[in-house]
Amino acid sequence: MEQLQKQVKELRQAIEQSAQKMDVDGLQEELAMLQAQMQKPGFWNDPANAQAVSKSAASLKRRIEPWQKLQQEIDEIEELTKLGDASLEKELSEKLSATSQQLIALKRNLRFSGPYDDHAAILSIYAGAGGTDAQDWAQMLLRMYARWADSNNLKVKTIEQSAGEEAGLKSVTVELRGGDFLYGKLAGEHGVHRLVRLSPFNADNLRQTSFAKVEVLPLIDQPDEVELDDKDLKIDVFRSAGAGGQSVNTTDSAVRVTHLPTGITVAIQNERSQLQNKETALAVLRSKLISLQLEQHAKGLSELKGPNQSAEWGSQIRSYVLHPYKQVKDLRTGYETSDAGKVLDGNLEPFINAWLNK
């Protein structure tokens, strides 16, 4: 029992050190402030602000509760070890081991130290060089990320989609919500993905190399996180051209927003309402500006230069080979697997973990 008490003491210290790194006390203070706001009279008079505050409070609560539970468990184990009952030693040892494993799992969250790592994510896929094969490859990537999202019980919403001329997709943008640190987990997917296979669109069934770019942005859906000056925005409305029903195609519901200082343009036509399309376009624009700010290490939006598209297209990060052998290899971490089918079915965790541990 004496050895067990020593292990309990060591684990308690490890929990306290990790909680300090996570700044659990600071998160609790932040949650208390939000909860105080929610208790004020008239809090729900501003539904948009109330919803944003409630969402932030719920997110903080999800992050804090596992640490509180871990603290309660180690307290309980410590109290029981003080009884000195040898008959409890095996049970307490098992509980201690389980608590230790929980700490290991929670410590993984310490890898997410970026200012937007705890945000939901916007993921876009653009077909690159390779013609119809590249557009098919874009669709395959969308399926891969959708499978990954499904296995993690995430909500996926299509923001914008442009179909390929013969097959696949020219581009697609989706929103992923429902999990912790989504942007932090997916940020490493940003870059060019290369596919090598026998082309199903080639009459001679020749080997084809295709490229698609994946762009991952933190979802900035609260306007106060990025203040946009109206004079910096050019907003155009136009008639939706894609599928969506007669009422979509006969009204000027599509919206294009251009950020004049950087030249970034976002066009949305997925919703029937012009207002909804505008709100979505502004949310995506905020996300693009934040991402650009992080990439350029700029302190403010006024310092931003236009994005360098050619540099992004040159940043090949992962290669998927289906012929003459099967292999998926991340060119930054060196992690690789021969089970390409499993990866394309959404098994991305090994690649995500390799990137986070890099």
Q: How many CB atoms lie within 10 A of CB 306?
A: 11
For 41-72, what is each residue's pLDDT tens digit?
999 998 878 888 888 888 788 888 989 999 99
Mean pLDDT of 307-320: 70
pLDDT band at 245 (very low <50, low <70, confident <90, very high): very low
Q: How far apart are CA 191 and CA 122, in angstroms?
A: 14
Tell me the pLDDT of the chain averaged across its residues. 87
Q: Decide if pLDDT at 223 tops 70.
A: yes
Q: Which fold has domain 115-358?
A: Alpha-Beta Plaits (3.30.70)
* Rg of the chain in Å (alpha carbons): 24
The CATH class for the domain spanning 2-111 reads: mainly alpha
Say if pTM beats, i.e. exceeds, 0.85.
no
- Domain spans of the chain? 2-111, 115-358
Q: Decide if pLDDT at 24 tops 80.
A: yes
pLDDT band at 303 (very low <50, low <70, confident <90, very high): confident
SS (H, E, C) the chain: CHHHHHHHHHHHHHHHHHHHHHCHHHHHHHHHHHHHHHHCCCHHHCHHHHHHHHHHHHHHHHHHHHHHHHHHHHHHHHHHHCCCCHHHHHHHHHHHHHHHHHHHHHHHHHHCCCCCCCCCEEEEEEECCCHHHHHHHHHHHHHHHHHHHHHCCCEEEEEEEEECCCCCEEEEEEEEECCCCHHHHHHHHCEEEEEEEECCCCCCCCEEEEEEEEEEEECCCCHHHCCCCHHHEEEEEECCCCCCCHHHHCCCCEEEEEECCCCEEEEECCCCCHHHHHHHHHHHHHHHHHHHHHHHCCCCHHHCCCCCHHHHHCCEEEEEECCCCCEEEECCCCCEECCHHHHHCCCCHHHHHHHHCC
Q: Decide if pLDDT at 333 tops 70.
A: yes
